[in-house]
Each structure stands twice: as C-alpha cells, then as structure tokens.
Amino acid sequence: MATATGTDTKPMKAPMKPEDVLRVIAAGRGRAICVPTMTTSPAWRTIAPDDLSVGCVGFMGGASSMGLGLALARPDRRVIVLDGDGSLLMQLGSLATNAGAAPRNFVHLLFKNGVYHTSGAQGIPGGLDVDFVMMAKGAGYRVVTMIDDLEEFKRRLPELLAAGGPVFAELHTGLAEQTPMTARGGVAFHQQVENLRNALLKPRAR
C-alpha cells in the first residue's frame, strides 16, 4: 500500500508580483477610472501616470467607498478599485454597501498578501486564510472569483471588465517593491481630485 510522504507535497505556487498585475490592468483598462490604495499606489503612479486615477492613501479602507461614489456618479465609466486585504479589513462593511448599491460599472480587485505592508508587513488577522471571496459572495457581489496566476489574470481581465458589476476578484500577490512609506511624493490628493474632475468634464474628441 502506498503511503503519503513529505515528498508528495506539491510546491506552493509563487504569488503574482503586484507590479506585473498592475501593468496588465493598465494595458486593459481603457478609459476606466482607477482608485489605487496603499501599496498599489507607488507603482501605479509610475505605470499609469494619467489623470483618470485618484489614490486612496491616508484613509485606510476607504478605496472601495470612494470607488463606489465615482461609479454611481459616472455610470458611463468603468471604475476599478485596486484594494488591499489589510485595507479592506478596516472597512468590511463596505462589501455589503457596494453590493447593495449594485453599480454595474464597479470592479473591485483585491491584492491579497496577508500583511499590512505599508506599516511594516505585520500579519493581518487571519493572514492568508481570510476568505474574501466568500465574504464578497455573501455580501451580494454579482461576480466573484479568485485568481493566483498572471497568465490566467491576463486571459480573464477583459471578461471581468465587461461583466455587469459589482465584480470582485481576489488576486493572490506578493509584496510590492515600494510602499507609500518608502516612496513618498506624487500628486497631492486634492490635485488628483481636481485633475480627475477636469478630465471627466472634458468633452471627447470627435
């Protein structure tokens, strides 16, 4: 009879690099408004330095609420929230709020790494065992999924962006190369808001 041994254990898949995931999003977002937060912010402002993004740094957990407001105000625009697991834990009630408002143009991408990276990589309560997919599904998001492979994310992003929201995808990622604490600077929040407002009020070229 065969017996299980330690050598039978499959090696764990390496998590996706956040910067690689962000590049895929930048290439496929079209004219969507993006709301990065915490550790997605430094890389995003380099990868996508335009005026259709507004960062949520300094009010931890507020990214999806800000994204919800934008989605409701501009139903003609897709809104993509680039959230973190530590941030979302601060405002778990936002899942039910987002699902209840049910904006069809709302896409919530959660970068799951199991730590509060910005403040020093302390483990979040529950670590990687926290099941945000189940939470989002229970809250009432229309489309809920988990992705842990970059090639799969490349294939599936177009369908996630085209689906009727609210959409939630838990993305298994490693730690970003930089955080708001190690890469300070960027455009001030009030100026980001003004830039986004001006861009949205600008008539499209015919």
Domains contained in the chain, CATH given: 14-179 (3.40.50.970)
pLDDT at 179: 59
Name the band, by pLDDT with cuts 50, 70 and 90, for residue 183: low
Q: How far is CA 160 from CA 38, 48, 99, 108, 110, in A?
A: 23, 20, 16, 10, 13
pLDDT given for residue 180 in this prediction = 54
Own/partner long-range contacts of 192-197 (Cβ < 8 Å, ≥24 apart): 192/51, 192/53, 192/54, 192/55, 193/54, 195/51, 196/33, 196/51, 196/52, 196/53, 196/54
Tell me the per-residue pLDDT of 19-75, one tens digit each, with 9 for 90 and over.
999 999 999 999 999 998 877 777 777 888 777 888 777 777 789 999 999 999 999
State how far the alpha carbon of 152 is from the alpha carbons of 72, 95, 147, 156, 184, in Å: 29, 25, 7, 6, 32
pLDDT of 101-156, one tens digit each?
Answer: 999 999 999 999 875 656 555 556 776 888 999 999 999 999 999 999 999 999 99
Q: How many CA atoms lie within 13 A of 102 on its CB side?
A: 3
Highest mean pLDDT among 13-17, 100-104, 181-185: 100-104
pLDDT above 50: residue 5: no
Q: What is the pLDDT of residues 146-182, one digit of tens each?
A: 999 999 999 999 999 999 999 999 999 887 656 555 5
Query: What's the pLDDT band for 204 if we cut at 50, 70, 90?
Result: low
State residue 131's pLDDT score: 94
In the predicted structure, residue 2 carries a pLDDT above the cut 60 = no
